[in-house]
Amino acid sequence: MFQGTGSNVGKSVLVAGLARALTRRGYRVRPFKPQNMSNNAAVTADGGEIGRAQALQAQACGVAPSVHMNPVLLKPVSEQGAQIVVQGRVWGQSRARAYQTTKPLLMPYVKESYERLRAECDIVLVEGAGSASEVNLRCNDIANMGFAEAVDLPVILIGDIDRGGVIASLVGTSAVLTPGDASRIRGFIVNRMRGDPALFESGMSFIAGRTGWTPFGLVPFLPHLGALPAEDTGDLTPGWQGEGAFRIVVPLMPMISNFDDLDPLRTEAGISFAFIPPGTALPPCDLVILPGSKATIADLDFLRAQGWDIDLKAHHRRGGRILGICGGFQMLGQRIADPEGIEGHATSRPGLGYLDMETRLTGAKTVRSVEACLLPGRQRLGGYEIHAGVTQGPALSRPVMQFDDGRLDGAISEDGRVAGTYLHGVFSLASSRQALLGDAISASQDTPDHAMRVDLALDCLADHLEQHVGIDRMIDAFLPV
């Protein structure tokens, strides 16, 4: 099990890289995260949802993602509340304080999923959540030491030197844990070293001497991983990326979800891309994308509070284009109603008014993978739906695409400059990017699909870890002969 001294120390990426490295050595590997908190979700073949990071790790293992790889997914709908997804299905909703008493009910599901994976492979790489030193949450824990104890796992602790204070973080974790929990930690990895690694050799020795843990590696910072999806909104850096002539901006809203939809655009030649932070006006551009949202009405209120609705009107008046994806699609209509209080309490709001349609949020959730073709050219693409809500209105008579089961999806405005779709993943294929964005994207067959870019990045990451992490020592220490 890989735990961290804190959130965002690189656990997910390191597990993905190790999964690829071990898979290339011939082991059957599976990723597992008992509990994840993220609105960046992926859809499994059986219509369940898990954290995007575990889907990436499954790709690193060369296997299809399964709901058992992330049996508990918490999807925030407010600062203190979250939807609880268990083994891929919505299980309930809880506020943070009440969730602490809910966790014992979830441990049986977590253990069942772990045992299923364990039975089908040689190695399960388990990823913890947040910090191993959150002793205030240790009672009933299912994400870190509580799970490690429940199934008797050894632990490797990861610290991030790029954040500063890594010696204190690692040694301090040893100090605050109970002797039983501390004894589970067999080694540590220091991640994201910039500069000369020799400068931290004495630091590695100091940590090992104070804790008694084996130093398994000092991993230099690897900048060429832009194709890998971010797990948390904290990883979404405002500001321009790329130097292309076609400019795309995305307003960064609090409950943004499934933001990996945008990854192919951030690395595409011909495009300049920017997340726009709160308090900043939307700059002149060719296309504004309103992304998915876990709390559409709350994000719509936030958008208006920033004055972005006024910026959008000016952008559209100047001839600019607007694309809404999932929650962003719902915002483009005349009204969004939540009579059942799906996102918190019963309410409704006027939409942005670009498309003649209305959305009613419902308790039933649509989660499925789909194959489709864009209209009218019928370029092929694949993706997934993951949304609560039914949208109706005259705008739907001008759909964006047709699914292979015959259903039509999305809507296009009469002037052709505003469009929306429920489908996530619309930019994954080079051909669909070209069809949606036109001359901004090269139609060259040499342009790689995004999945290929991700795969190449995983191989690069695995090569990096083979060089800087003692993988052979891990195998010798943790795998039975």
Query: Which positions are catalytic?
Result: 326, 424
Structure tokens at 294: 């876990």
Name the amino acid, one letter, at 402.
Q
H/E stretch holding 185: strand 185-193
Which residues does residue 218 pair with via DSSP β-bridges, in sequence order? 190
The SS3 of residue 135 is: helix
What are the CA-CA distances from residue 189 to residues 125, 170, 179, 328 (Å)?
Answer: 15, 10, 20, 40
Question: Which strand ranges, in their side-by-side order, compose the sheet holding 185-193?
Answer: 2-4, 155-160, 185-193, 214-220
Give the E-state strand segments of 54-100 in sequence order: 72-76, 81-86, 89-95
Q: Are 238 and 251 in contact (CB under 8 A)?
A: no
Residue 137 burial (10 A CB sphere; 0-12, 13-18, 19+): middle
Q: What is the distance between the alpha carbons of residues 35 and 110, in angstroms, rounded to a whole number? A: 8
Q: Taking phi first (over 0 means left), then psi (-120 to 50 degrees means alpha), and beta for anything else, what does residue 178 get?
A: beta
Q: Are 234 and 76 in contact (CB under 8 A)?
A: no
Q: Are 88 and 44 in contact (CB under 8 A)?
A: yes
Closest CA to 272 of 250, 295, 242: 242
Name the amino acid, one letter, at 58.
A
User: What percent helix, strand, coil does the chain show, rounded to 5?
Assistant: 35, 30, 35
